[in-house]
Amino acid sequence: MSDWEDEYEADGVTLSKPLSVQVKSWRPPSPQRARTRDTGAPRAEVDLDGGQWTNWREPTSNVCDGETRRNNSYGRSRGGRGGGCCDGERSRSSPTILNVDNSLVGRIIGRGGAKIRELEESSGASIKINRGVDEAEVMIFGSGDVQLKAKDMIEDLVQGRSFRGPMGSNGNSNTGYQRDSCWSASAVQAVGAAAPARVPIDWIALRENRDKYEAIKWQDLPPLKKDFYIEAESVAAHSAEEVKIWRKENNNIFVDDLVEGEKRTFPNPVCTFEEAFAHYPGIMENIVRVGFQKPTPIQSQAWPVILKGIDLIGIAQTGTGKTLAYLLPGFIHMDEQPLPRDQRNGPGMLVLTPTRELALQIEAECNKYSYKGFKTICIYGGGDRRAQINKVRSGVDIVIATPGRLNDLQMNDLINLRSITYLVLDEADRMLDMGFEPQIMKIILDIRPDRQTVMTSATWPTGVRRLAKSYLKNSMMVYVGTLDLATVNTVHQMVLIVQEEEKKAYVFDFIHRMEPQDKVLIFVGKKIKADDLSSDLCLQGIPVQSMHGDREQCDREEALQDFKDGRVRILVATDLASRGLDVHDITHVFNYDFPRNMEEYVHRVGRTGRAGRSGASVTLVTRDDWKIASELITILERSGQDVPEELVLMAERYEKRQREKEMYAPKGGRGGGRRGGFRGGSDRRF
């Protein structure tokens, strides 16, 4: 494992999450399902479907309890033979049925149906798949032995393994299934003998030939053009010293070329829109229409890099115009491809973003700067899947998606990702925090490797650095601000040390003092608290909306729209709303509960003071939050804020206690905890 990976794991970001949660167990179709007794076998970590979702290994015992028993009863009624499910009865005429999550069916079918054909050939079974809304019924026809063999192979595929032989080389069972199987060893051996011998996979040879296979995989791709930059004379004329001063004065921009070997000259920044887009009148029309005066610092420095076709990592605070920084060059990139649009057979730009709200917001931004009639689709979990599929089929140019839902469509061959030439990983830090890396990895496997990739993030933790190293090639980096956490310095940040039971009084007092033009976003730590506080406010006749991961998507969208449009001036939310959401006129952020970590604090506070406006934040800190006191002090000092004396005392007390603990604690205790904690791949935890 590379140093990067070591660092990455130390940072607490898992490389993958257990698949078992995704896999629906083999279960008997109703009404037999009702008869399946609880075997006491270990359940999966998440019991998603009212107890119907079980650990995928559980079918080992369910084979007896459910499916096989059903089949035996068929056998009895037809052949009149008695005996329990473990009596070696193997002649089945009714099909075996596996329920498989739709997102995993692609693994059974394979590209162009190749996998399923192979399955049928090697097992001798006939396989039929009926897709439902969320899951598919995989029906296996054939004799009992044949069904059993095919079922085994399908379970392997669903689990992401290649087919395995039914027996180990020593003649003993080599799978959990067979160890606990109700079939006798001789019966299973007979199946093994009948099966064609499998050729073991030569992994070393495969690895050696990886480049060759990659080349074959991508051999039919159309040509790709990436460099569209014509540097304006006024830009080229800047001396190195002038550029250095400009970067210093524009929020202390730091640039770097991350190419291995000799560094390239970093492009000079553009100071006006014309300097970047004079050759693209369609883009200029859009800018004139929205009335922006000049590029933001990240845009000034990002546009020349992206337009030159170089992969870019853009790190800048929230609200600094990162969306437009990647969208406008993306429009040009797509429009100027050598292969005409109508022959591309799929979208050209993909923006991956962590939450549904952000996806919708980027879509809105995209539509605002419409260019050459590009069609955009927003793909996110919770939205109408069927409608999303239909829109993809009707032909789209730009896909804005959350990784989970896109991965679902990809696995089911419902979207072509081979046509994508411009990829954006937006809010990469948040996507990692939410455990999306496995899905991102799978998605990118289907995107041509010579694409252009842009990654944005508000922070630069180890996990993001590792992501950049994996998915960007010879990239350049633009870092606006310092290399440490920094809050927006346009926000006046007030910190109050309070008791937990005083919090409600503080927030009510704050609300009663609000001016008519004020708009406040109140952050709480738990979904239940968001419901609790918003209903308390409602009971007092105060118009309020709330937003958290347990609310229906349509309610979340309505809440956000009400808040944006000013129908309510108070939004109570969990950290679901802490990043990227762009509501211009939030005047205050009220941290009712302190966030999980300082990065989240920076994002929350960044919800106000946007687009050059000033804003204010109020943060309630209780004794339970004392471990963050010293980090909070650093942030406040760095952005020139007052630091309350009580906070300093709190930090000192905490440090003293830590020292004492270290002094008296026995050596070699438990290892440190993980930062961030949750790794869910979903926004439902907020």
Interface with ligand ADP by CB under 6 A: which residues? Answer: 292, 295-296, 299, 316, 318-324, 580, 582, 611
Closest separation in Å from C-beta 246 to ligand ADP = 16
- In whole angstroms, give the CA distance from residue 250 to residue 255: 12
Please identify, using beta-carbon distances, which residue of 68 and 318 lies nearer to ligand ADP. 318
List binders of Mg ion among 350-369 (CB under 5 A). Answer: none
Closest separation in Å from C-beta 183 to ligand ADP = 58
List binders of Mg ion among 312-331 (CB under 5 A). Answer: 322-323
Is the Cβ–Cβ distance between 451 and 420 less than 8 Å? Answer: yes
User: Per-residue x/- mask for Mg ion, residues 25 to 64, rule CB under 5 A?
Assistant: ----------------------------------------
Q: Which of Mg ion, ligand ADP, none does residue 321 bind (CB under 5 to 8 Å by kind)?
A: ligand ADP
Nearest one of 525, 528, 526, 520 to 544, comparing CA atoms:
520
Tokens of 204: 């070393």
- Quote the Cα angle for 420-277-251, to 5°: 95
- In whole angstroms, give the CA distance from residue 45 to residue 18: 9
User: Per-residue x/- mask for Mg ion, residues 525 to 564, rule CB under 5 A?
Assistant: ----------------------------------------
**End-to-end Cα separation, the chain, in angstroms:** 32
Tokens of 226: 């990436």
Tokens of 187: 């019966």
Please identify, using beta-carbon distances, which residue of 306 and 316 lies nearer to ligand ADP. 316
Please identify, using beta-carbon distances, which residue of 195 and 458 lies nearer to ligand ADP. 458
Closest separation in Å from C-beta 397 to Mg ion = 20
E strands present in 554-646:
570-573, 588-591, 615-621
Q: Could you tell me how far CA 251 lies from the centroid of its own chain?
A: 29
Please identify, using beta-carbon distances, which residue of 147 and 299 lies nearer to ligand ADP. 299
Q: Which of Mg ion, ligand ADP, none does residue 329 bind (CB under 5 to 8 Å by kind)?
A: none
Please identify, using beta-carbon distances, which residue of 323 and 419 lies nearer to Mg ion. 323
Distances (CA, A) of 628 to 523, 548, 601, 643: 17, 24, 11, 14
Q: What secondary structure, in 3-state letters, does 67-115 show?
A: HHHHHHHHHHHHHCCCCCCCCCCCCCCCCEEEEEEHHHHHHHHCHHHHH
Closest separation in Å from C-beta 366 to ligand ADP = 11
Tokens of 58: 């559980």
Q: Which of Mg ion, ligand ADP, none does residue 320 bind (CB under 5 to 8 Å by kind)?
A: ligand ADP
Closest separation in Å from C-beta 55 to ligand ADP = 41
Q: Which of ligand ADP, Mg ion, none does residue 654 bind (CB under 5 to 8 Å by kind)?
A: none
Interface residue with Mg ion, options 28, 59, 142, 580 (CB under 5 A): 580
Closest separation in Å from C-beta 231 to ligand ADP = 20
Is the Cβ–Cβ distance between 639 and 486 less than 8 Å? Answer: yes
Please identify, using beta-carbon distances, which residue of 323 and 534 lies nearer to Mg ion. 323
Q: How would you list the strands of the sheet with 570-573, edge to edge?
A: 491-497, 615-621, 588-591, 520-523, 570-573, 545-547
Is the Cβ–Cβ distance between 460 and 433 less than 8 Å? Answer: no
Q: Which of Mg ion, ligand ADP, none does residue 296 bind (CB under 5 to 8 Å by kind)?
A: ligand ADP
Please identify, using beta-carbon distances, which residue of 101 and 557 lies nearer to Mg ion. 557
Distances (CA, A) of 493 to 287, 489, 627, 634, 668: 33, 9, 19, 13, 40
Please identify, using beta-carbon distances, which residue of 3 and 565 lies nearer to ligand ADP. 565
Closest separation in Å from C-beta 422 to Mg ion = 17
Please identify, using beta-carbon distances, which residue of 54 and 490 lies nearer to Mg ion. 490
Closest separation in Å from C-beta 580 to ligand ADP = 5
- Inter-axis angle of helices 322-335 and 356-368, nearest 10: 60
Residues at the contact surface with Mg ion, assessed by CB under 5 A = 322-323, 580
